[in-house]
Amino acid sequence: MPFNRLNRRTALKLAGATLVVGSTAPEILAAPRRAKRVIVAGGGIGGLCCAYELMQRGHDVTVLEASGRSGGHVMTAHDPFADGLYADLGGEQCTEPGYELFRAYAKKFGLKLLPYRRRDNLLRFIDKKPYTEEQLADRRVLAGFGFNQREVDFLARHGWSELPLLFFGPRLDQFTDEYQPFGVGFDELDKISVTDFLQREGASAAALNYAGSKTTSALHRMWFLAIMKHRRRRLFEKNLFRIEGGNQRLTDAFATRLGTRVRLGRPIKRIEHSASGVTVHYREHEDDKSIAAEHLVNAIPLPVFKNIPVEPAWPEPKAWVMQNVSYGMQTRVVFQCRTRFWKKEGISINISPGHAALYNIWECATEVAGERGILMASASPGTTRAQAMEALRAHYPGKALDVEHVFIKDWFREAWAPVCERHEFQVGQLAKFWPNIIEPVGRVHFVGSGIDNNHHGMEAATRSANRVAKQIDEL
């Protein structure tokens, strides 16, 4: 099969696998076939989920995780916070609709999902000026930004974050297969940017500034929006949930069930693969060790995985993917507060300053009783405590801040899980990335947050994990 196109048979197979796992609770689907030996590289949510599904199907699984903990970018911190407070420093939320697998696993493992109202009554800063949701639905305010009348009418009805649907929306139903962006009449849009497409559709300068991108493929953006519509998800979903006690309870649940199959502190040093199997060379304490299996599932983020030597070398299309795929990075800022001062002042703490040291801020661990509270924030890599605190002072609309400690989690300093979600593909690159990014190379398979058609974190990780587990089981 050519690397730059999915044939119909493969596309239907992929779509069918996703339909099964995306619409039902995760269960053993059939009596196990011949047991296969599988190595899973990486113990984040994608790797643990895939290993669990393979184990459920009767296969012999070993997870090699380089760090001293499982969970990867899903991390719940309880220390050093006071009074039982905690903070999700990585994967933070799931949606409904959407995240069907994540929510089904939580139910299966007896984990309670709590409403996460971090986007209600949002105060959004635009050009350094705060606007409420009501103001951003006001036609006079919208016109003042420079939106044209068509855009003003749309935004007043649908909301600020839905603006891309005004331009892309009429074409989205053409994508009938979530796993096939090509051949539906829009292939040429991979050659132009989102900004170029919006200009073609008569977008105002204000719309171009807010919804445009001079580097992103217009076809990739359109396909992404089509997937979101197919899954009945809004672009800025407010119906959010998180696991009581922290989302790491889900990855811990996978790891507990896998037991000794998960081996921590085993960084992979070299990989050999052939038509008959794989051999993984890794470090265990001070010793060099090797393990052989019939299949390898890579769940290590590609920007890290590409640095592991492999024999024979990856074929050119897969090597290109590894060298060119791009992920985002964020620093997490946690403010431990002596009191929940925003509640005393009757102010929504859901604020989107868009500032480098404070992109967004919201409350976590709301169910924990007591005076103290936890505020979570996202910021650019390298943000310091002082910078974050200064940004909070500048953007909090109340009179008093009662912050006693500021904690920083710099993910970019993590050796094994430094990246967050995958970026959109750039102009002219979709045909190079898709489907190469999800395709196996012989007996080496790929899962993770960036290895799916929709790059939304924990959802993409669990969907890709189920897809690959099913593929290996059926081989």
pLDDT band at 457 (very low <50, low <70, confident <90, very high): confident
* pTM score: 0.92
Residues 221 and 150 in one domain: yes
CATH number of the domain to which 91 belongs? 3.90.660.10
Residues 322 and 334 in one domain: no
Residues 140 and 226 in one domain: yes
pLDDT band at 420 (very low <50, low <70, confident <90, very high): confident
pLDDT band at 151 (very low <50, low <70, confident <90, very high): very high
Residues 139 and 287 in one domain: no
Residues 96 and 112 in one domain: yes
Asked, for residue 127, whether it belongs to a domain, the answer is: no
Residues 267 and 297 in one domain: yes
Question: Looking at the 3D structure of the chain, how many domains does it have?
Answer: 3
Strand partners, 334: 376, 407
Q: Is the pLDDT of residue 423 over 60?
A: yes
Domain assignment of residue 334, given as a range? 85-119+239-243+328-413
Give the tens place of pLDDT for each residue, 247-299: 999 999 999 999 999 999 999 999 999 999 999 999 999 999 999 999 999 99
Residues 146 and 108 in one domain: no
CA–CA separation, 23 and 46 (whole Å): 18
Asked, for residue 375, whether it belongs to a domain, the answer is: yes
Residues 153 and 142: beta-carbon distance below 8 Å = no
CATH number of the domain to which 274 belongs? 3.50.50.60
Asked, for residue 454, whether it belongs to a domain, the answer is: yes
3-state SS class at 427: coil
Peptide bond into 80 cis (omega under 30): yes
Strand partners, 295: 38
Residues 299 and 150 in one domain: no
Asked, for residue 435, whether it belongs to a domain, the answer is: no
Asked, for residue 441, whether it belongs to a domain, the answer is: no
Asked, for residue 295, whether it belongs to a domain, the answer is: yes
Helix then strand then coil, in percent of the chain rounded to 5, is: 35, 20, 45
Looking at 413, 432, 458, which one is the last position of a domain? Answer: 413
